[in-house]
């Protein structure tokens, strides 16, 4: 099938809200049907650009994914949380007719940290408060110094981008409680093992998300709410506006440019357009063959996959609440390094989400399915001995997921920001880049993905 055959796609969204496309930009192919790609595609289509979206999976959503846990109930197996500062995502949620629901955090937390087995109110672990305060003060100093618009221009960037977070902790953290808590904190915030990321990336990520306290908070913070019924609905409704222009099961393997346009080659054929938008994480984006090749790749040898596995434990109802527990736990040993109550608002089913992050996620991902289930159920029994075994258990392994290659986001290793940062968003001729990893605001979050989609729309329309 020829490129011209495949390029005959339905027109843009049209309707009363449609405005003329920028001169010369009449067609676009968007690669990736996650939040960034679909935000870009619907934005371009609404402005008269004829858009085709190619998605390798047999579903839309990217790193958002709905998991059925009971009749009429789905929970988030991928990205889930949002807060009041996530203004672009909240506007999109409202426009799509969706609602948010608060993340429930009433009751005591459970903490299994070393020899400690403690139940106490709130989320603060039963560790030395002075040591943890010193840890957060040092992190605050690092984050405050980062150039959010251009991390590679941060004062002392060369040193900070060479040093790993693990090496920094070895030098700076002297109290055993701070050393114990630091990798747990970094796993929860970034899905990172400290050895995988540079200090510059760690500091940038924490500041980009709104600062340590905002990023780490439920009430009033970045984890305050969830999208009722699941975050995957955002992409499903955006795709619904595009209809047949979204083509599933079409993995893109090559993007070729010439003076007149771009040809995107997928498992379904070749698509001809004026521009292409690559809305893929850095590692999958680098697996595409580009001709001509970009001057700088999207990732390097030290760029790592975001190390997150979600274990979804299902109960008839949120049984822990009857015991005065919030469902929150922090654990020094895996696989479940933390848990949170992700039950639907009506309480019709109980859901504990367990987070397996950092190096523990790699270790867990190497186990067989039976070993994984046994490890999760046995640990849940230790953390919540008052609960019966779960009636359902679902494992979502993002580390080994073929098309995302990690979650929450790619991890920038030593040297990555200095080498790849300056070309993070720069178009490669007719190719534009989207995705949460291209956003210096709310990097790694759904908000960052949406903002990157808006940026690409503005770039494409400005081509003239």
Distance between CA atoms of residues 419 and 292, nearest Å = 20
Closest CA to 408 of 34, 154, 30: 34
Q: How far apart are the C-alpha atoms of 54 and 43, rounded to whole Å? A: 16
Residue 368 has pLDDT above 90, yes or no: yes
Lowest mean pLDDT among 56-60, 122-126, 284-288, 409-413: 122-126
> Largest Cα–Cα distance of the chain, in whole Å?
67
Lowest mean per-residue pLDDT among 16-30, 78-92, 267-281? 16-30
Domain boundaries, the chain: 3-61+232-294+428-461, 66-83+97-107+222-229+307-397, 127-216
pLDDT(14) > 50: no
Q: Which CATH architecture has domain 66-83+97-107+222-229+307-397?
A: Alpha-Beta Complex (3.90)
| pLDDT confidence tier of residue 141, bands split at 50, 70 and 90 | very high
Position 440 scores a pLDDT of 96
Q: Is residue 115 pLDDT above 90, yes or no? A: no
Q: Which CATH class is domain 127-216?
A: mainly alpha
CATH number of 3-61+232-294+428-461: 3.50.50.60
Closest CA to 282 of 294, 266, 267, 273: 294
Residue 286, pLDDT above cutoff 70: yes
């Amino acid at each position: 099938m020829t490129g011209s055959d495949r390029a005959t796609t339905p027109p843009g969204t049209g309707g009363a809200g449609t405005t003329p496309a920028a001169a010369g930009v009449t067609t676009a192919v968007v690669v990736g049907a996650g939040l960034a790609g679909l935000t870009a595609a619907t934005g371009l289509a609404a402005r008269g650009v004829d858009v085709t979206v190619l998605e390798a999976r047999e579903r839309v959503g990217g790193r958002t994914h709905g998991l059925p846990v009971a009749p009429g109930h789905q929970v988030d197996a991928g990205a889930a949380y949002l807060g009041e500062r996530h203004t672009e995502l909240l506007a999109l949620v409202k426009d799509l007719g969706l609602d948010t629901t608060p993340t429930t955090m009433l009751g005591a937390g459970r903490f299994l940290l070393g020899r400690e087995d403690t139940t106490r109110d709130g989320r603060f672990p039963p560790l030395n408060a002075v040591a943890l305060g010193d840890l957060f003060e040092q992190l605050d100093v690092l984050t405050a110094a980062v150039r959010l618009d251009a991390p590679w221009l941060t004062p002392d960037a060369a040193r900070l981008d060479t040093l790993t977070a693990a090496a920094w902790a070895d030098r700076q953290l002297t109290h055993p409680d701070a050393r114990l808590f630091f990798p747990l904190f970094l796993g929860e915030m970034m899905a990172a093992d400290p050895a995988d990321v540079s200090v510059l990336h760690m500091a940038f990520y924490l500041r980009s998300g709104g600062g340590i306290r905002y990023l780490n908070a439920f009430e009033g913070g970045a984890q305050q709410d969830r999208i009722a019924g699941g975050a995957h609905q955002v992409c499903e409704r955006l795709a619904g506006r595009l209809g047949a222009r979204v083509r599933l099961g079409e993995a893109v393997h090559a993007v070729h440019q010439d003076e007149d346009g771009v040809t995107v080659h997928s498992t379904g054929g070749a698509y001809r357009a004026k521009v292409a938008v690559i809305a893929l994480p850095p590692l999958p984006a680098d697996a595409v063959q580009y001709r001509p090749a970009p001057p700088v790749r999207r990732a390097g040898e030290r760029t790592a996959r975001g190390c997150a596995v979600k274990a979804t434990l299902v109960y008839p109802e949120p049984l822990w609440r009857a015991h005065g527990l919030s469902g929150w736990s922090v654990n020094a040993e895996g696989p479940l390094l933390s848990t949170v109550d992700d039950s639907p608002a009506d309480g019709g089913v109980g859901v504990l989400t367990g987070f397996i992050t950092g190096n523990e996620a790699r270790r867990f991902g190497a186990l067989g399915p039976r070993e994984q289930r046994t490890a999760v159920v046995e640990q849940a029994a230790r953390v919540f001995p008052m609960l019966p075994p779960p009636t359902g258990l679902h494992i979502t392994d993002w580390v080994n997921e073929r098309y995302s290659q990690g979650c929450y986001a790619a991890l920038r290793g030593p040297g990555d920001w200095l080498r790849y940062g300056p070309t993070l968003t720069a178009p490669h001729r007719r190719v534009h880049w989207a995705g949460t990893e291209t956003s210096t605001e709310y990097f790694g979050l759904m908000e960052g993905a949406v903002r990157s989609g808006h940026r690409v729309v503005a770039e494409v329309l400005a081509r003239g």
